[in-house]
Each structure stands twice: as C-alpha cells, then as structure tokens.
Structure 1
Amino acid sequence: MVDRIGNPNLRSKIMPADDAAAKIVPGMTVGMSGFTGAGYPKQVPLALAAMIEAAHLRGEYFKLKVLTGASTAPELDGALAKAGGIDFRLPYQSDPELRARINRGEIEYMDIHLGQVAQYAWFGFLGKLDMAVIEVSAILEDGRLVPSTSVGNNKTWLDLADQVIIEVNAAQPIGLDGMHDIYYGTALPPNRKPIPLVRPGDRIGEPYLRVDPSKVVAVVETQAPDRLGHFAPVDEASRRIAEHLVEFFRHEIRQGRLGPNLLPLQSGVGNIANAVLSGLRSGGFEGLTGFTEVIQDGMLDLIRTDTIQMVSATALSLSPEGVKEFAQNIDHYRSRIVLRPQEMSNHAELIRRLGCLAINGMVEADIYGNVNSTHVAGTSIINGIGGSGDFARNSFLSCFVTPSTAKNGAISCIVPMASHVDHTEHDVAIVVTEQGLADLRGLSPKQRARVIIDNCAHPEYRPLLEDYFLRACRDSRGKHTPHLLNEALAWHERFLLKGDMRA
C-alpha cells in the first residue's frame, strides 16, 4: 500500500473504515463512486451501515441522500438499504433489497438519464453535496488519483463535495494507470465551449482525478474485488435477435447508409447485448469502434480479437472470467480502452456527433413503438432508465431488443399500450425480438403498428394484437394513433389478476 499511496499528506490520513464512516452524519448528501458493480467503495459503506443500524437500535434518526454513478453492489446499496439508511437515491440501481424498499415506498428514488446527473449537480438541482466516498486504485505522490474500474460521476463528486473519503483498493490492477481520460473543460451555461472529441479514442483530458487535499478527511486501505456476476449463456432467443440485427446492419451497408466498419457501437448490459456483439465477430465485421457506457465480456472479446479497435466507456462490467482476462492482458486493453466520466460517455452532443449505433434492452414496446424499459405493470421500478435515453434520443440508429414473451409466455413484450413510457415513438427506430425486426423509420403510427405486429409479436399474441388494432382503427375517436382506452392496459390488468395476459 506504500506504493499505492504516494502522497505523504494523504498517507497521514489513513484510518480504519469505522473511523472514516463516523465522519458521515445523519441528513448528509453523499456522492459515492460505482457504476454497474465496478469501482464502488468496499469498506466504508459496510461500516456506515453498521453505524446506522446501531443508531436505529438506540431510537435515533439516521438516513442519507445517496448519489452514485449507477448501480453498485450489496456492500453499498444493499447494506445501506437493509440498515434503513437511505432516504433518497439516484440515478440507477439494481440491488434487490434497495429495489424492494423503493417499491414499498420506503425510499424516494429519482430515475434520471445518466448523462444528466453531473449537470444537475453542477446546476444546484440536487442541493449541497456534503461528502464524497470514492474508490481509486492509487494516489500519486503529487496527490492526483488513479481512477478505478469505473469513473462515473467521481470527478463531479470530488469537485463539489465539502469533504472527501478515499478508499485505495489494492485489488484493482495497477495497470489501470493511463487508461482514463478525465475532461476538465466543462462549464456552466452560458460559458460552455464545444467538447473537442471527434473520434471515440480521442484523449481530451488527463489520466487522473484531481482532489483538493484539504477536503480529504480520511483515506481507507482496502483489498477487495468488484462484486460482478456471471453472465448467463446466450440462449436461442438472444441468438436469433442478434442474427436479425447483424443482418440488418449488412442491409444498411448494402444500401449505403453504413460503411463496412459501421459506426461507434453502444451496447447495454445483458445477455442479448453480448449475443449481438458475438454475432458481429462471427459475421466477419472488423475495424469497429465503440462509444458506450460499459464494457462487458462480449465487447472485451471483440477487443481481444481486434474486431474492435477502440472503445470509449465509463466503466468495466465484467464477469469474474472477464476480470481475469482483463488483468492478464491489461497492456493490450490499455491501448484500446478509454474510460471517461459519464457526463462524457453519455453526452448528447458527442453521441449525435459520432453517430452511435445504440442497442438497448427493454421491458415492453407497444404497437406504436413506445418503449418501457424500467417498470413492471407501470408502477414497480426494476432498475432505471440508465443511459438508454441518452443514446436513444441522439444516436444515428436507436435499436431496442427483447424476447417477444416473458414468464414462459404469460407476458407479451409487445402490447397494445406500454404501461410506462421511457422512450417515446419519436426516439425508437428499430424494434427487434427473436421473431424478427421492425424498421420504424419514416412510418406513421398506424404503419408502425402493422410492422411491429407482423415482425416482432409472438405468434400466440399476434392475432390478439391484430384484433385490438383493427377494432381501434374502427372504433377509436381519433384515427391518427387509434386506441381503445377501456382496453389499452387490459392485458397488464389480466396478468396482475390471473398471472397470464392471455387469460
């Protein structure tokens, strides 16, 4: 750890996690590192949760406003939620305990585009930031910080927080040094200037995070891996979705709308995304680039085989096998990966300028192309919108993917009306299920409905959707986007009452 903490002043502030956590008091707003299970603080949140539980046993109030980059891990979100220590949380989460308490109304949760979090903080919309708790992989002699496996909102938290706790994690590869690009050229309106990035691999900032040493109240030594899960094997539905999408890209090349190297890829996290990336490699594509939020195993494999030459992201989201591969060949990956703050990885202007091909998952789409990516039956949050909206609104092509059914066929993922809308029909260009692909570009609402029903709906649900659409066209008061308002959400109601949309 002497090699990891090179600054004598900050080395003098080393203390146990319990002592560091004691510097966090009830009512604080705390910005913590972490993005999709990577780069989150490992020990201070656990110590903090124990302190909160003890306070509650004494009958004392102890809750916090917790801000992160995205989802973290059980040691942070799960522990603090279980202790009853979170009053408010943003912007994205995936922990079961935290999710359950949000849906029971015990925790206030703000779902927000990941690309907007930093600017909301800078604008003052989120109030004063009292404390930042940030994991890094090392502290240089001059006090600069070598970021960890995620950057997320760390730059903003370090800049805005009144006080800072730093966890230095010796389990993170020291070879991460040099992989990051921290841009310090942002400003508040009306003093903003164009961001000088024109290719995914451009470096426009610094390799390190800055921190005012006078704000650092504690340094905690840790040695713990990121808590990352195994990815499920690619199933048949995911493989077929990938085939449809890869063939669509080939079609766009033949039409002259894409070049042989495509455009920078953005891929959400999950099984289908990995299948699509694998399909690109087996399909003979090469010379690709990526401008995305996270790098998961499928993209790492494309970098390893030089199918992808350069990827820009804000975090790694790898399985344990992927972590091992990354660490063993980190010199190769360091020349092909740039990790940036999420206000850059998810920046609307950059996404539009680069012309990204966005591929994101969804819960359901309705027949007119409105997409729900966050809620069950319109009321219960799953994880959050993440960065899908940043890319859907601004990409060259916005693709949403899902199996056509869920719960062994009891749920149709193509429905008459989406029970919650995260991405309106105006931001959705392509819908893909294992049944087929619907190209919605240049179509009116009724034309979109016919294409989605014909190409994406499961055969068991297709006649039901056709029947609804035909009767809506006949009986709806308005004929532009026909709906039967007394039936539009009846499928969801049937599932809630009987466990099957077909019942």
Structure 2
Amino acid sequence: MSDERIRDARLLDRIMSADAAAAFIEPGTTVAMSGFTGSGYPKAVPLALAQRIEQRHAQGEPFQIRLLTGASTAPELDGALAKVDGLALRLPFQSDPDARKRINDGTLEYIDAHLSHVAQHAWFGFYGEIDTAVIEVSAIREDGALVPSTSVGNNKTWLDLAKKVILEVNDWQPAGVEGMHDIYYGTALPPHRRPIPLVHPDDRIGETALRCDPAKVVAVVRTHGPDRNSPFNPADECSRQIAAHLIEFLQHEVKAGRLPPNLLPLQSGVGNIPNAVLAGLAASGFRDLTAFTEVIQDGMLDLLHEGILTSASCTGFALSPEANERFKRDIDFYRQRIVMRTQEISNHPELVRRLGCIGMNGMVEADLYGNVNSTHIMGTRIQNGIGGSGDFARNGFLSIFLSPSTAKGGSISSIVPMVSHVDHTEHDVSIIVTEQGLADLRGLSPKQRARQIIAHCAHPDFRDALQDYFARACRDSYGKHTPHLLPEALSWHQRWLDTGTMRP
C-alpha cells in the first residue's frame, strides 16, 4: 500500500501490525467496531484480537470484550471472536452462526436494538464507556479526516466517544468511494435538537469524511481484504410469486392515486425475496424510482445500472462477490447516484415518516391480527435481530412484511394464531404478503384483519385449522375484540417442538 491512502504525516509513525494494534484492547472493555451487513468492517485487528484471547484462555486467564457495531459483520469479526468465547455482550444486530449459538445457549448476552436508537443510547451512556473504536477506512486525508469505506453505520459516534482509536486502512476498497459519503454533524441530544435539512432522498447535508482527533489514534493498520457477503440465490418460484403479488398491489395503489407513478422512496431488507421484488419492479415498467434505505444489495445495484432507480441513500452494502466487483469497476458511475450516511440518519424515524418510505422487510411469522415476529424462532431462539425493520415499519408510509407461507419443509406455518414473539405490533403493519397472496390490513378491525390474512396469506395445509381456531375464538374468547383461546394460542409452536410439525 502506498502512502496515497495514509496522507496525514502525523499518523505515519503509528503504522503497525494488527497484532500490535490488538494489544491496545484490554479484557473487560467495551469495543466499538465499524461494519454493517458484511461491509466496511475491520478485517485484521479482530482476527489478531481473537488469537490473543485464545492464547490468554489457554493460560487460564479470562478475556472477553463487549462488542458494539453498526449491524452484522462477517466471519473475520463476529465469527472469530465468538469462536474463541471472546464476547461477553453483543449489540445491536448479528447474523453469525457461532454468535447465534452462544446467544441461544445463554453464554453471550445480546441486546437486540432498533438501529436508529443505538447512537443516541451510546451518547447517553446506556452501554457504558467506549474504550476503543476499531474502524475500517478507505483513506486518511492530509488533515486527518477519515474517508469511510463501504459502510458508515455508527462510525461517527464510535469515533466521537471512544478513548482510543485503531484505524484499518483497506486498499482493497476502491479509492473512488471517496465523495460518496455524507456525514451529518448537525444532530444533537434532546432538548437541543433541530430539524434535519434533508428533503429528498439524494440530498447531501453533511461532509464527505469522518472527523477524528488524531491524538486519539493509537494505531494504523494497513489491510487488503474483501468485504464478505453470501452470494444471493436466483429467485425461486415462491419468491417470484411473492414479488408478483406485491407489484400488482403497488400498481393498484398508483391507479387509485395513493402512490405516484414513481412510487415513494423504497426501503428493502436483505435477502432473495427483496431482490426478487426489485427485479419485478423493473420488469413491470416502474421508472424514476428512489431509495432511502439501510442497505444496497444486488437488486438495487441492478436498478441503478439500468437507470430505473435514479438515486439511492444507504448506510452500507450487502453485495454478492460478483456485484462487489461490478461496484468497484464502475465506481465513478455509482458515486454520482449513491449517498452513504450514518445509520442515525439512514434510519431516522422522522425522515422515514416525512419522506413517506415504502418499507419492505422479511418476517419469521405473523398472527391472525397482523402482529409480526421478525426475530425469534419458537419465541425464544434469536435468529438475527430486528435491525432497522422497526424504524421503517412504525414510521413508513407503507409497512410491508414478506415471507413464504411455510417453513421447514412445510412443517411450520408462517401464519399462526398468535406470534410467539412480537417485534412489530398490528398497529405498525400495513401489508402481509406470502406466495399465497396479499392481505391489505389498512383500515380494518382485528377480526376483519384475521379474515383477510387467513384467506389470502395462509397455506392451504393450515388454512382450515386457522379458520377453525378463529371461529371458536370468536365464540368462546373472554373478549370479542381480539378473540383468542389462551390455552391454544401458542399450542402450534409447542406442537412443533414436541412432534416436529405444527400440523394437527
């Protein structure tokens, strides 16, 4: 790596190995790292730290840290530290199988938080003092300003609050990413807040780099490593059916005058179903679309390339390896169309409400009345976390949840009498879509919602059982506003735990 990536002469004498940098991190401290859905996370220092922790454990010495990030990261960070039992606490989102196992067996404490809340909670000290920030950047400017790489996340807050800063300068990341970021320094804590001057999704209201006091930088580590995201599978028939139902609904809303022809700013969760929806939008003739979202994945990159999406605002990427290479190759093109922000702006509830975002997110299950569980399997085992779905569900113009109607080879119904864990209440859910159809819940009472969900979203193998439960609940429930048979409400989940199927 040439010094073109490290242009602040004051920091040249702090360049060192990842092992030397990791030695600055002490047991029992709170460490904040960059990273958002497998992009922009530090690649070398966490691995070196994991090795150091493993060595200390072999000597019988305790060594764990409390880890904060923007969202999920990758095997070199979450995976490496979880494998060596190096984490005492993790927040606000994760997707690593080793971390998930430890969370679910009770050996790793986990705080599943709305992504828009994390920066504010950190400033108020709910997570304790942040000892060290480990941040990946693509370059350090002459004045010490830090050019982020492929995610921004909570990096601004981590740099502001940390006592010590370790920088990884990754020259695998394209130099051309410089200028793509918009770091807003106008936020404040209550009661001193003022309006955020963002009116359109592509507005630029901040700076193109992060501020950092050079005196806090204790180490600079040169790296050359790729972001790691799993490749997306081609859309299957189920995903295409879900996408078709949603696109037909959006077309209907345009005809009814409730949406403009170019829709409203899109927010899309990560996965194969959202990618299928994005592909379907292009095939259906929608044009001049915009996005105000957390993550840009392959489908949005395709829409930008085709000119169907005119601009996209995000805080990070979740690109397949092939899309990553295309992004790097065509970086000059994408820099004119993508704005990367801190997640306290990309997920800001007031902005989501004011811009009128269309939120499209996945779910684990929904119940008869429209309550959605997006985080827990059988009510107790965390899968990943709520992420930013709550920021967009509560505040978006349309709150859409997407899922196949069954899981685990048809043994689990995604539509159940009562969800085993509630992330999004019935008050925050507008639309539920499965491959069976779409239920528009707007303007409906609880019993009206139940009839729509059973008729349009439930799999035929479970529809009669749901109808039977609902009919008996309407007859025998203690109250008739939201009818439930409490002894049976979660019996489907218990039946699966006992027998391996929800089928009666």
Would you call these one fold, judging by a TM-score over 0.5? yes
Deviation at residue 59 of structure 1 after TM alignment: 1.0
Q: Hey, what does 2:19 align to over in structure 1? A: 18
Deviation at residue 434 of structure 1 after TM alignment: 0.4
Query: C-alpha separation between the residues in 2 aligned to 1:206 and 1:101?
Result: 39
Q: Hey, what does 1:160 align to over in structure 2? A: 161
Q: Hey, what does 1:379 align to over in structure 2? A: 380
Query: C-alpha separation between the residues in 2 aligned to 1:11 and 1:408?
Result: 56
- Note the 1:78-477 alignment, pairs <5 A: 78-477=79-478
Query: C-alpha separation between the residues in 2 aligned to 1:73 and 1:429?
Result: 33
Q: In structure 1, list runs of 5 or more residues that go unmatched.
A: none
Q: Hey, what does 2:69 align to over in structure 1? A: 68
Deviation at residue 212 of structure 1 after TM alignment: 0.3
Task: Read off the aligned partner of 1:354 and give its amino acid letter.
Answer: L
Query: C-alpha separation between the residues in 2 aligned to 1:71 and 1:416?
Result: 31
Deviation at residue 55 of structure 1 after TM alignment: 0.7
Query: C-alpha separation between the residues in 2 aligned to 1:100 and 1:112?
Result: 19
Query: C-alpha separation between the residues in 1 aligned to 2:324 and 2:443?
Result: 43
Deviation at residue 408 of structure 1 after TM alignment: 1.2
1:44 maps onto 2:45 in alignment: yes
Deviation at residue 266 of structure 1 after TM alignment: 0.2
Deviation at residue 74 of structure 1 after TM alignment: 0.7
**TM-score in terms of structure 2 length:** 0.99
Q: Tell me, what secondary structure is at the counterpart of 2:311?
A: strand
CA RMSD of aligned residues (A): 0.5
Task: Read off the aligned partner of 1:255 and give its amino acid letter.
Answer: A
Deviation at residue 232 of structure 1 after TM alignment: 1.0
Q: Tell me, what secondary structure is at the counterpart of 2:482?
A: coil
Query: C-alpha separation between the residues in 1 aligned to 2:46 and 2:230?
Result: 20
Query: C-alpha separation between the residues in 1 aligned to 2:485 and 2:81?
Result: 44
Q: Tell me, what secondary structure is at the counterpart of 1:438?
A: strand
Deviation at residue 222 of structure 1 after TM alignment: 0.2
Deviation at residue 444 of structure 1 after TM alignment: 0.4
Query: For residues 331-371 of structure 1, what are the alpha-carbon distances to aligned partners after superposition, in whole Å with 9 as ceiling and x for unaligned?
Result: 11110000000000000000001000000000000000000
Query: For residues 35-57 of structure 1, what are the alpha-carbon distances to aligned partners after superposition, in whole Å with 9 as ceiling and x for unaligned?
Result: 00000000000000000011111
Deviation at residue 188 of structure 1 after TM alignment: 1.1
Task: Read off the aligned partner of 1:412 and give its amino acid letter.
Answer: S
Q: Tell me, what secondary structure is at the counterpart of 2:63?
A: coil
Query: C-alpha separation between the residues in 2 aligned to 1:142 and 1:69?
Result: 26
Task: Read off the aligned partner of 1:217 and give its amino acid letter.
Answer: V
Query: C-alpha separation between the residues in 1 aligned to 2:262 and 2:203?
Result: 18
Task: Read off the aligned partner of 1:259 and give its amino acid letter.
Answer: P
Query: C-alpha separation between the residues in 1 aligned to 2:129 and 2:139?
Result: 27
Query: C-alpha separation between the residues in 1 aligned to 2:103 and 2:358?
Result: 33
**TM-score in terms of structure 1 length:** 1.00
Query: C-alpha separation between the residues in 2 aligned to 1:146 and 1:236?
Result: 42
Query: C-alpha separation between the residues in 2 aligned to 1:41 and 1:5?
Result: 16
Query: C-alpha separation between the residues in 2 aligned to 1:228 and 1:255?
Result: 39
Query: C-alpha separation between the residues in 1 aligned to 2:366 and 2:189?
Result: 36
Query: For residues 88-128 of structure 1, what are the alpha-carbon distances to aligned partners after superposition, in whole Å with 9 as ceiling and x for unaligned?
Result: 10000000000000000000000000010001001111111
Query: C-alpha separation between the residues in 1 aligned to 2:214 and 2:485?
Result: 62
Deviation at residue 327 of structure 1 after TM alignment: 1.0
Task: Read off the aligned partner of 2:171 and give its amino acid letter.
Answer: A
Query: Runs of 4 or more off by more than 3 Å in structure 1?
Result: none
Give the fraction of aligned pairs with identical amino acids, expressed as a percent: 69
Query: C-alpha separation between the residues in 1 aligned to 2:192 and 2:74?
Result: 37
Query: C-alpha separation between the residues in 1 aligned to 2:478 and 2:221?
Result: 64
Deviation at residue 258 of structure 1 after TM alignment: 0.4
Task: Read off the aligned partner of 1:136 and give its amino acid letter.
Answer: V
Query: C-alpha separation between the residues in 2 aligned to 1:351 and 1:22?
Result: 41
State the number of aligned residues: 503
Query: For residues 159-181 of structure 1, what are the alpha-carbon distances to aligned partners after superposition, in whole Å with 9 as ceiling and x for unaligned?
Result: 00000000000100011000000
Q: Tell me, what secondary structure is at the counterpart of 2:478?
A: coil
Deviation at residue 282 of structure 1 after TM alignment: 0.3
Q: Hey, what does 2:6 align to over in structure 1? A: 5
Task: Read off the aligned partner of 1:133 and give its amino acid letter.
Answer: V
Query: C-alpha separation between the residues in 1 aligned to 2:80 and 2:245?
Result: 41
Task: Read off the aligned partner of 2:130 and give its amino acid letter.
Answer: L
Q: Tell me, what secondary structure is at the counterpart of 1:460?
A: helix
Q: Tell me, what secondary structure is at the counterpart of 1:12?
A: helix
Query: C-alpha separation between the residues in 2 aligned to 1:437 and 1:297?
Result: 25
Q: Tell me, what secondary structure is at the counterpart of 2:98?
A: helix
Q: Tell me, what secondary structure is at the counterpart of 2:181?
A: coil
Q: Tell me, what secondary structure is at the counterpart of 2:262?
A: coil
Task: Read off the aligned partner of 1:58 and give its amino acid letter.
Answer: Q
Query: C-alpha separation between the residues in 2 aligned to 1:172 and 1:498?
Result: 49
Q: Tell me, what secondary structure is at the counterpart of 1:266?
A: strand
Task: Read off the aligned partner of 1:394 and give its amino acid letter.
Answer: N
Query: C-alpha separation between the residues in 2 aligned to 1:225 and 1:145?
Result: 19
Query: C-alpha separation between the residues in 2 aligned to 1:386 and 1:466?
Result: 33
Query: C-alpha separation between the residues in 2 aligned to 1:468 and 1:137?
Result: 56
Deviation at residue 328 of structure 1 after TM alignment: 1.2
Query: C-alpha separation between the residues in 2 aligned to 1:236 and 1:380?
Result: 28
Query: C-alpha separation between the residues in 2 aligned to 1:48 and 1:12?
Result: 22
